[in-house]
Amino acid sequence: MTITATDLRPVLIAGSWRDATSQSSFQATDPNCNATLEAAFPVSDWQDCDAALDAAVAAAAELRRLPAEKIAEFMELYADKIEAAKDALVESAFAETGLARSPRLADVELPRTSNQLRAAAAACRSGNWALPTIDTKAGIRSCYRALGPVCVFGPNNFPFAFNSVSGGDFAAAIAAGNPVIGKANSSHPETTRLLAELAHAAVMESGLPPATVQLIYRTSHADGERLVADPRVGATGYTGSRGAGLALKAAADKAGKPIYLELSSVNPVVITPGALAERGEKMVDEFVGSALMGAGQFCTNPGIVMLVAGAQTDAFIDAVQARYASTAAGTLLSPAVARSLSKSVQTLTGLGAELLTGGGEPESDRCAVANTLMRVDGGAFLNDPEGFQTEAFGNASLMVVADDVPQLCRAIDCLEGNLTGCVYSSEGDSEEAEVEQITFVLEPKVGRLLNDKMPTGVAVSAAMNHGGPYPATGHPGFTAVGIPASVLRFGKLTSFDNVRPSRLPCLLKDAAPTEQTVRLIDGQWRGGAV
Amino acid sequence: MTITATDLRPVLIAGSWRDATSQSSFQATDPNCNATLEAAFPVSDWQDCDAALDAAVAAAAELRRLPAEKIAEFMELYADKIEAAKDALVESAFAETGLARSPRLADVELPRTSNQLRAAAAACRSGNWALPTIDTKAGIRSCYRALGPVCVFGPNNFPFAFNSVSGGDFAAAIAAGNPVIGKANSSHPETTRLLAELAHAAVMESGLPPATVQLIYRTSHADGERLVADPRVGATGYTGSRGAGLALKAAADKAGKPIYLELSSVNPVVITPGALAERGEKMVDEFVGSALMGAGQFCTNPGIVMLVAGAQTDAFIDAVQARYASTAAGTLLSPAVARSLSKSVQTLTGLGAELLTGGGEPESDRCAVANTLMRVDGGAFLNDPEGFQTEAFGNASLMVVADDVPQLCRAIDCLEGNLTGCVYSSEGDSEEAEVEQITFVLEPKVGRLLNDKMPTGVAVSAAMNHGGPYPATGHPGFTAVGIPASVLRFGKLTSFDNVRPSRLPCLLKDAAPTEQTVRLIDGQWRGGAV
């Protein structure tokens, strides 16, 4: 089939759905049956990017003049539209990702997405995300302000909740008052287009600048790097593979442009002998449930389990192996994910990890690889810790069995930065000394430390950190989940020193802009007027 | 004179004052008389850096086990020692920087330094810098935690208050619980050594790990870049020239290491016709006072004044010119500063700026260049905005005279990121429309927006931002001044998810660690227990 320009889906630039300037194209695959989906999408050239950037600059200027209330209204309207279009969105996402229609897409991810937009709307309306601070004695007031156009590159594994035009980075960037240029994930472009249609409709109905939300589907690597480094860009949010992310980071860093990255994480889970002795069966249930959920395609999937050698550990691994072998493999997001998973498993076994089950080639009639369990001893891990930390994104796990707790700690000390790290231990306090040693080396490696709990749930909480040291993310001080903290990434800190009252931003005037607004006024966090 | 190893001042590594491994050396100059100072200092090779890094890693681990109280005590003891050693410190700093003994060094900068350490101690003790957050329903608690060894590169212009072993970055890094490897500014190594002696004594007396504070004086560029990118480093703070800072940034970025930079800023001051008409003479006083204070060697020195053509503007510039010509030039910090200033002035006049007064070569018997005033019209500025923003660090200023407010706004829109930007306007509201236009383009360019006030004062306030968009700094969301906000730069956000109560950090246990501690507990900022 020859694809012509008229067959290509349009890009959304400067408020119009129009043909991309390039005729280069791509199509996504239905992972449920390994069939190429009919819709074809353009690979945008620099002319599209350039037009989007110009329109975004103009939109950013307009947005700065609008009250926060208008932006909040847009997000709420958009959330309503997403819920109203649930069936079509779920059907499209199912066809493009293979994720279960229910509960995953319809009942978990879609409500999370609309609720995230509403939480962002509330943060935007109150201004609380911006940490408004007033020092009446010094005559100085400060808060975070919109930073400028934000580029968002969404990942493959959350077609709604991290989508570049509806997800966490999108909501955070918009709540801070910035327009967004969304770059669709190539594995679910139609779902992204449907969302952008809803977003665009909500933009127009709520009277925001038409270019508040723009969408392109794909660019060359070179144009992507040029985009994040462009002087017109305020910042970039990226969730995806480490390789592509680091290339974007290098380009953005060189230009002095903030870029927030979520790259990769093997999310180590330490299980002590005491935990296995007390609740070995429960541990198997908990681990297998977390590790195979969504075919293991979560940022916080527990990819590496760290154990101490012994009979309990062998029994645990045997039980997990049996469960992996007897459980049908989930459908993976795309042929690329299936290929990458097989390759990572080959890399790990090539380094000497023992293949306990799985490890074959992708299935031919859908995107899937058999549930895969591998094992390596602590000494071998320590001989090539970088190699054994190769991320196997999907339904594969590596058991690292150390000789003893000191070796376990040395192995942990070799870990790269991760989003999460867990410690399961005896319910009593008989293992506190060992747990203290383990935690001391584990905590600096992770953004979120858990006890007796698997990492795959990412609660929406003010205390949540969905972040972590490099290379899990690009900076250890920021979280990608949790409104309002995640919004700060897309703000610019600004002091107003002796600025005349009438010229202050609403958020910093004597009167509080809303009843929900809380400000640090002369050292006290409180609501109300100065 | 031949310098041998025994003549060289020792470095402070791993708790010992010892000879550097290299015999390469340098000496500072007394800018008051252009004479080489006697003391000779080593240029450390990688062996010194490597030893300091190893010691810092060990110290960081020990510090993590100590209560915050111990670290706070160290900072208070150190502050006391700085005040007790005031005379020697002032004499040394005067000889190395030419800054006035009084009031500048003895009565302004030294008390600011010790008070900053005490404020950091208070933030460390209460833990408030770490934004402790407790969500009892979700069972998640978070705060910022120590990040690891911090390298601090201090600038030439604040021998105490931004010194690498006593200044703002030092205090912030220590308050976050990190050891510091200080890299002295080469223009005041003896002052830095004296401060490090006091710091080291305070470290030992308060029982902190001996390598909590370490000092080297200088490295090769290559070793500096290797240092900030080393896996053992947590983060780097750098204040200094843009060229050296960007080289360090490139190295740190590539390794995924946070680096906080304060690079350069011309701090535009806009003065409207209305302000000049109402209070022209006062404007001359204010501007000249701010611009020539400390021979203009402040990060927030107003280097560019932006005006609208007219008789009032001409009169203002004439009056400033007369004051510049009749005022003795202040002493500059070093021969390098004097040379760089002359060179920048040549660059600006070479581009077409009219030299109104000054502009000569450095004086021969001290580090000084005549007060220099230049003028360029808005059209010429717009033809080469990058060139005309060449920073002339010191007592030189550029007047940019636009044809009208629209051209003025176009010129502002071409500005790079700056620490500050000011607008002086009519006291009434007759110019509000113009001021709105000006502010709209100026605000995104600056970290601190001022009205009717010069930028050189940097008040210690919770609402202060001593930061700004690139290339003023490396990230628009952080401030280098203001405890506790500046401390956050050296912390790592960490969530504790379902972590057993006995294993939580003190700051996150149910009981508040101090009466001063304020935490975000279930959505409310408050003191007391959970």
How does pLDDT run across A6-40, given as a tens digit for each residue?
689 999 999 999 999 998 999 999 999 999 999 99
- Among B63, B236, B465, pick the best mutation site for testing chain A contact (most A Cβ within 10 A): B465
The pLDDT value recorded for residue A483 is 87
Q: Mind telling me how many Å the CA of B283 is from chain A's nearest CA? A: 16
- Among B286, B473, B492, B507, pick the best mutation site for testing chain A contact (most A Cβ within 10 A): B492
Q: Which residues, at least 6 apart from B294, have a Cβ–Cβ distance to it below 8 Å? A: B99, B104, B157, B330
Token pair in block for residue B17 = 């004052």
Closest CA to B303 of B437, B416, B395: B395
Q: Mind telling me how many Å the CA of B472 is from chain A's nearest CA? A: 10
Closest CA to B485 of A155, A144, A1, A34: A144
Q: Mind telling me how many Å the CA of A37 is from chain B's nearest CA? A: 38
Q: Do B435 and A476 touch (CB under 8 A)?
A: no
The pair phi, psi for residue B213, each rounded to 5°, is -125, 125
The pLDDT value recorded for residue A6 is 60
**Measuring CA to CA, how many Å separate A342 from each of A32, A253, A358, B341, B406?**
18, 33, 10, 61, 61
Cα nearest neighbour of A139 on chain B? B463
Which residues of B are less than 8 Å from A414 in CB distance? none
Q: Respond yes or no on whether the N-terminal peptide bond of residue A210 is cis (omega within 30° of 0).
A: no
* DSSP type of residue A128: G
Q: Do B477 and A500 touch (CB under 8 A)?
A: no
The pair phi, psi for residue B36, each rounded to 5°, is -70, 130
Cα nearest neighbour of A254 on chain B? B250
Which residues of A are less than 8 Å from B253 in CB distance? 249-250, 253-254
Instruction: Using the CB atoms, write b or e for A102-115: b if 16+ within 10 Å.
Output: eebbbebbbbbbbe
Q: Do B449 and A494 touch (CB under 8 A)?
A: yes
Token pair in block for residue B244 = 């050296």
Q: Do B447 and A495 touch (CB under 8 A)?
A: yes
Q: Do A492 and B470 touch (CB under 8 A)?
A: no
Q: Do B435 and A135 touch (CB under 8 A)?
A: no
**What integer best gives the mean pLDDT of chain A?**
96
- Among B126, B142, B386, B496, pick the best mutation site for testing chain A contact (most A Cβ within 10 A): B142
Which residues of A are less than 8 Å from B497 in CB distance? 420, 448-451, 453, 455, 459, 464
Q: Do B138 and A464 touch (CB under 8 A)?
A: yes
Q: Do B459 and A138 touch (CB under 8 A)?
A: yes
Q: How far apart are CA B418 and CA B300, in angstroms?
A: 9
Which residues of B are less than 8 Å from A451 in CB distance? 497-500, 503
Domains of chain B: 5-263+480-485 (3.40.605.10), 269-451 (3.40.309.10)
Q: Mind telling me how many Å the CA of A441 is from chain B's nearest CA? A: 9
Q: Do B463 and A500 touch (CB under 8 A)?
A: no
Residue B312, amino acid: Q
The pLDDT value recorded for residue A455 is 97
Which residues of A are less than 8 Å from B130 in CB distance? none
Which residues of B are less than 8 Å from A525 in CB distance? 518, 525
* A268 neighbors A412 (Cβ within 8 angstroms): yes
Rounded percentage of chain B residues whose pLDDT exceeds 70: 99
What are the beta bridge partners of residue A180?
A150, A213
Question: Is the model's pTM score more than 0.90?
Answer: yes
End-to-end CA distance of chain A: 67
Cα nearest neighbour of A452 on chain B? B498
Q: How far apart are CA A156 and CA A333, in angstroms?
A: 7
Which residues of A are less than 8 Å from B449 in CB distance? 494-497, 499
Q: Do A493 and B465 touch (CB under 8 A)?
A: yes
* B143 neighbors B507 (Cβ within 8 angstroms): yes
**Measuring CA to CA, how many Å separate A508 from each of A128, A520, B483?**
11, 10, 21
Q: Mind telling me how many Å the CA of B447 is from chain A's nearest CA? A: 5
Active-site option among B73, B76, B96, B262: B262
In sign, the C-alpha dihedral spanning B349, B350, B351, B352 is positive
Catalytic residue positions of A? 262, 299
Q: Do A450 and B498 touch (CB under 8 A)?
A: yes
Q: Do B498 and A470 touch (CB under 8 A)?
A: no
Could you read off the pLDDT of A63-84 as tens digits, one per residue? Answer: 999 999 999 999 999 999 999 9
Q: Do B450 and A493 touch (CB under 8 A)?
A: no
Alpha-helical (H) ranges within A231-330 are 242-254, 273-292, 311-326
Q: How far apart are CA A335 and CA B22, in angstroms?
A: 57
Size of interface A-B (CB pairs under 8 A): 192
B443 is catalytic: no
Tally the residues of chain A.
Answer: 530
Tell me what the mean pLDDT of segment A49-62 comes to.
Answer: 98
Strands B519-521 and B133-135 come out as: parallel
Across the interface, of B452, B479, B492, the residue whose CB is closest to A493 is B479
- Among A64, A492, A498, pick the best mutation site for testing chain B contact (most B Cβ within 10 A): A492
The pLDDT value recorded for residue A7 is 84
Cβ count within 10 A of residue B528:
11
Q: Mind telling me how many Å the CA of B309 is from chain A's nearest CA? A: 25
Which residues of B are less than 8 Å from A229 in CB distance? none
What are the beta bridge partners of residue B370?
none
Active-site option among B124, B299, B367, B422: B299
Instruction: Using the CB atoms, write b or e for B511-522: b if 16+ within 10 Å.
Output: ebbbeebbbbbe
Q: How far apart are CA B55 and CA B200, in angstroms?
A: 14
Closest CA to B389 of B447, B303, B308, B263: B303
* B265 neighbors B124 (Cβ within 8 angstroms): no
Strands A491-497 and B446-451 come out as: parallel
**Measuring CA to CA, how many Å separate B439 from each of A92, A304, B423?**
46, 53, 8
Q: Do A500 and B250 touch (CB under 8 A)?
A: no
Q: Mind telling me how many Å the CA of B490 is from chain A's nearest CA? A: 9
Could you read off the pLDDT of A339-374 as tens digits, one per residue? Answer: 999 999 999 999 999 999 999 899 999 999 999 999
**Measuring CA to CA, how many Å separate B226 from each of B45, B59, B229?**
11, 20, 5
Please list the ranges in chain B whose pLDDT falls under 50.
1
- Among A493, A496, A517, pick the best mutation site for testing chain B contact (most B Cβ within 10 A): A493
